[in-house]
Structure formats: structure tokens, C-alpha cells
Amino acid sequence: MTTAAVRLQKFLSRAGVASRREAERLMAEGRVRVNGTPVTTPGSRVRPGVDRVELDGKQVTVQPFRWIMLNKPRGTITTRRDPRGRRTVYRHLAPRDRVLRYVGRLDRETEGLLLFTNEGDVHHALTHPSSGIAREYRLAVEGLPVRAALRSIEAGVVLEDGVARAERVRLLRVPDTRAGDTVLSLVLREGRQREVRRLLDAVGHPVRRLRRVRFGPVRLAGLRPGGWRELTDAEIGALRGAVGKGRQRESGPARGG
């Protein structure tokens, strides 16, 4: 039985090493070889399981798509390696999962839902600035924000990198004492660096604790800090659907171009 050929950039994306656009750049730089020969032309095709594809001299193979969820603990860095030797989120994953790419960075002191995958195209679509994927947070802040402060967060606050706004902010719990914290729910559709913290700083209520509880259609539930699990088929399908990929994807390697 003949193995169907696929476009090389699609193969690299399905292998989880790069998005299709990034794969085209790698090809143009001469870093991709097929059967020992550099391939720089977009649209070139390969036969999975027959042709040998290499990136920077290392063989690339297509593995079944994998998606996992981690409940990121506070104090961990969202990176694969840290030159200063600080704890990274990958220390909490099984060894075989440390090749997966995280979906949407969380800063060191932020905890909660962090996704990992080797499904390159969906990863790229979810993290692209134009995706508009909702991210929901629970946060404890200093003091008790007045209604006007909450309205201003939704209307838009001028930060150093432009106007930022929450799609929704809700008061969940008020402090028992003047020294206590207020608990809020906040939904963003952007992924700017430290955006939640900067929004609350701007209205005079610094964040004491921040946890992401939802990324798009997937919610954090039932995991202790540092714990992880595989996503269900329904969750994976919902993520693909959220970026318009639901009808175009399979749960494993493609058989077409």
C-alpha cells in the first residue's frame, strides 16, 4: 500500500516542531533535509514513514497528537530550560511529554491551567494574537474595588503598550476585614505579558494571587498543584473547534495532502 504524500510544512507542523509558517522559514534557511537533500521550496511533498525528514540534522517523525493539562504551581517558570536553574513547568511532566509545547505562557507567580500539545497548527492558532481565545482567571486583590473601577477595567485602561480591557470582570467575594483580599473573576481575550496584574495595578488594587481556570472551552478541575492529565476527546475537539479546525483534523497523522 502506497503512503500518501503530504506537504513538507504540513508534515513538520503535524510533528509538532513548528507551525506551517515557521516550517516554511526553516526550509528557506536550509535547515530541513529530505533523504539527505536540503528542501527549500514550499509545497514540496514527503511520504510519512518512507522519506527521512531531518531538521538541523535530527530526524523528525510524526507522533499521534497529544494534549495534556497541567495545574501549574506558583514559583515555576513557563519554559523548557532556565539558565538560572529555576524550576520549570516541564519538571512536573512525564519524561515522554517534555517534548510538548506549552500553549499560552503563565508568569512565574501565576498558577493554574496550562496546556501542552504537539499539534502544531492548533497550537499556533490558539496562541496567535488574532485568535481571541477567552482566558478566565480567579484573582485575589488588595482592597475592595468600587463599581467604577470594575467598569473601567471592562471599558479599557491605558497601559504602556496600549489600551487593555477585560471582556468581563465580576466580584466573587468581599474581604471579611479591611486587611482581607477581594476575589474577582476576570475574562480576557488577549495574552499580553502580565496583563491581568497591570490592569489591576492601574486601578489601584494590586494582585496578591492569580490563577487561570479556563483556556477557551477547557476548564481546570480536579488537579492538585503540579498534577496533570490527558485531555478528553471532547476537550480536544472543542479546542480544535474554537479555532475553526474541528472539521479539518484527525486525532493522528494525516493521510492526505
**Cell numbers at 120, concatenated:** 502544531
134: Cβ contacts below 8 Å, ≥ 6 apart: 167, 187, 188, 189, 214, 216
CB 123 within 8 A of CB 22: no
Q: Is 233 a catalytic residue?
A: no
Query: What are the phi and psi torsion angles at 92 (to 5°)?
Result: -90, -5
Amino acid at 120: G
Catalytic residue among 56, 107, 161, 233: 107
Closest CA to 27 of 2, 53, 63: 53
**Which stretches of 101-248 are DSSP H helices?**
120-127, 147-155, 195-202, 233-242
How far is it, in rounded angstroms, from Cα 48 to Cα 8? 10
Residues acting as catalytic residues: 107
